Amino acid sequence: MMIDSKEMMLAGECIRSAIANGADEARVSLSKSVMDGYTFLNGELDKVTHSADRSIYISLFVDGRYGTFSTNRLERDELETFIARAVSMTRMLGEDRFRRLPDPGRTEKGAKTGKELDLYDESYPESNAVKRLEKARSLSIFKTEDHNEGYRLISEECEYSESLDDNYLVDSRGFEGRHTETIYYCFSEMTIEDLNGNKFSGFWWDASQKERDLRHTECSANALKKAVSQIGPKKRRSGRYRMVVDNQVGSRLIAPIISALNASSIQQKMSFLDGSLGRKIFSDGFTLMDLARTPGKNGSRLFDTEGVATKDSSIIENGTIKQYFINTYMSGKMGMEPTVEDISRPCVMPFMKGKELKTTEKDVSLKDILRFCSNGILVTGFNGGNCNPVTGDFSFGIEGFAFSRGRITHPVREMLITGNLIELWNSLTAAGTDCRASARWQVPTLAFENVSFSA
């Protein structure tokens, strides 16, 4: 199912055909993917999924105009006709003088095989339906779960999948790059009912580029544990509390910041970080890195969709905004130096207020941060809500646990946190070292002071 040499040659021919038909520049992205998935419901096979996709995307730059076109028909004669028509259609569009390919000096030169970052499992071709089915079946604990006096197991849904993604990018300025990766994924969701008829759900997942690293045997047990832990929630008064955010959900507080650093948001005046480049906006303890080129890690890549080379870099350093995400097009419109189009693998660096913290010296877990904060509310889930992209004001529904003297005391539900993201991240008191290895977004346990909670 991987892209072969004939298909790569065909992509190059598409470039030549576009130029021959009058395009000034062209870029072609060829992608192939396959996914096999199995879902079990209450211990029984419920769904089998197999999907395969092959497509080619062509970006055309014609007489100061720009158009994108796609097809999954890769026959040479059909593509020539398709491209000729696409060039003609692009000429009918309005002029956009800032559309162009990136400077060749900015593009990646070392993505020759697609496997440079060790994201492909060489054993993937050896897998088969029998092995995948057994791996999916092993997730389920529904029929073996012992009866418990405090709850009744109502339902269990388990999913296991394996996928392969292969992408090849080439443009008329000489760029050529390939990115290949496999993904092994498992997910479980458990629903229980307590003695009073109240229902609670918990989920767990894991993912890995290599089959050997997938921790699937713990999936359902962890999901059940999360569901059981929610039994017996108590009301909590509105007020201001210390807030600890579990490493499973902290990305909810990072995503609006990354979006606000995107050049298109800034150019459209839809960013609360407009004009912040080079300025100290957040707490000294807040450092966000883009570790884009870490071998074997989810999210790593050598180039973006323009072919521009990625690099490990500071996005926010000790609270200071160091970089916007500016692609070639937005660079021209805004008159700013281009960077990369977006973040690849965001990583929040460890911090503990008042303490010198180095990951090589000490691991900081959820338990450590609960003890450090002593009293407050641990957020383990966000239930709806929104963040205003212009002001950074937010309102999120949450669920989780109250804790006292560093120990969890009882579950809490149906609470709301409100505030402003700039103010929130200026109240950061701790960031752990416990990022989930399987996640693309490396966000550890976080802690904040004086957060407004409403019951």
How confident is the model over 382-417, as pLDDT tens digits?
998 999 999 999 999 999 999 999 999 999 988 999
Residue 145: pLDDT band (50, 70, 90) is confident
What are the distances in angstroms from CA 300 to CA 87, 180, 329, 434? 34, 11, 23, 19
Residue 359 has a pLDDT of 47
Rg (CA), the chain: 25
pLDDT digits (tens, 9 = 90+) for 203-222: 999 999 999 999 998 999 99
Q: What angle do CA 358, 448, 376 make, to 5 degrees?
A: 115
Do 38 and 182 lie in a common domain?
Answer: yes
Whether 332 is in a domain gets the answer yes
> What pLDDT score was predicted for residue 1?
80
* Predicted pLDDT of residue 98: 96
pLDDT at 357 over 90: no
Residue 362 confidence (pLDDT) above 80: no
Q: Does residue 182 sit within a domain?
A: yes
Residues 286 and 306 in one domain: yes
Confidence category of residue 150, pLDDT binned at 50, 70, 90 = confident
- Given 203, 228, 253, which residue is the final one in a domain? 228
Please check the confidence at residue 361 and state whether its pLDDT lies above 60.
no
Q: Are residues 170 and 280 in the same domain?
A: no
Evaluate whether residue 271 is within a structural domain.
yes
Report the alpha-carbon distance of residue 216 to residue 137 in Å, rounded.
11
Would you say residue 200 lies in a domain?
Answer: yes
Q: What domain count does the chain have? A: 2
Q: Which residues, at least 6 apart from 319, have a Cβ–Cβ distance to it below 8 Å?
A: 280, 281, 282, 283, 284, 285, 286, 425, 426
Residue 9 structural domain: 5-228
Within 8 A by CB and 6+ apart from 161, the residues are 35, 36, 37, 38, 49, 183, 184, 185, 186
Does 149 lie in the same domain as 56?
A: yes
Q: Residue 452: CB partners within 8 Å, gap ≥ 6?
A: 239, 240, 417, 418, 419
Are 183 and 162 in contact, with CB atoms under 8 Å apart?
yes
**Same domain membership, residue 278 and residue 186:** no
Identify whether the C-beta of residue 27 lies closer than 8 Å to the C-beta of residue 19: no
Cα–Cα nearest to 183, from 219, 213, 138: 213
Percent of the chain surpassing pLDDT 70? 98
Residue 274 has pLDDT above 60, yes or no: yes
86: domain CATH number is: 3.30.2290.10
Position 356 scores a pLDDT of 66
pTM check: above 0.85: yes
Pick the residue with more confidence: 147 or 419? 419
Question: Are 286 and 255 part of one and the same domain?
Answer: yes
Residue 306 forms part of a structural domain: yes
Same domain, 200 and 247: no
- CB contact at 8 A, 346 and 288: yes
Q: Which residues contact 301 (CB under 8 A, 6 or more apart)?
A: 117, 179, 292, 293, 310, 344
Last residue of a domain, which of 206, 228, 250? 228
- The answer to whether position 348 is within a domain reads yes
pLDDT of amino acid 124: 97
Q: Is the pLDDT of residue 147 over 70?
A: no
Q: Is the pLDDT of residue 358 over 70?
A: no
- Nearest partner of 341 among 247, 232, 262, judged by Cα: 262
Question: Considering 228, 253, 271, which residue would you say is the last residue of a domain?
Answer: 228
Instruction: Judge whether 397 lies within some domain.
Output: yes
* Cα–Cα distance measured from residue 191 to residue 343, given in angstroms and rounded to the nearest whole number: 35
Cα separation, 385 vs 425, in Å, equals 18
CA–CA separation, 40 and 142 (whole Å): 10
- Give 142-151's long-range contacts (Cβ < 8 A, gap of 24+): 142/42, 142/43, 142/220, 143/43, 145/224, 148/228, 150/194, 150/195, 150/228, 150/231, 151/192, 151/193, 151/194, 151/195, 151/200, 151/228, 151/231
Co-location of 21 and 112 in the same domain:
yes
Judged against a pLDDT cut of 50, whether residue 360 lies above it is answered with: no
Pair 223, 243 in one domain: no
Dihedral angle at the C-alpha atoms of 63, 66, 67, 68, nearest 10 degrees? 130
| Closest C-alpha among 294, 306, 284, 52 to residue 162 | 52
Q: Are residues 254 and 366 in the same domain?
A: yes
User: Rounded to a whole number, what is the largest CA-CA distance in the chain?
Assistant: 75
* Residue 31 pLDDT exceeds 90: yes
For the cut 70, the answer to whether the pLDDT of residue 446 exceeds it is: yes
- Residue 10 and residue 121 in one domain: yes
Mean pLDDT of 307-325: 98
**281 and 168 within one domain:** no
Report if residue 234 sits inside a domain. no
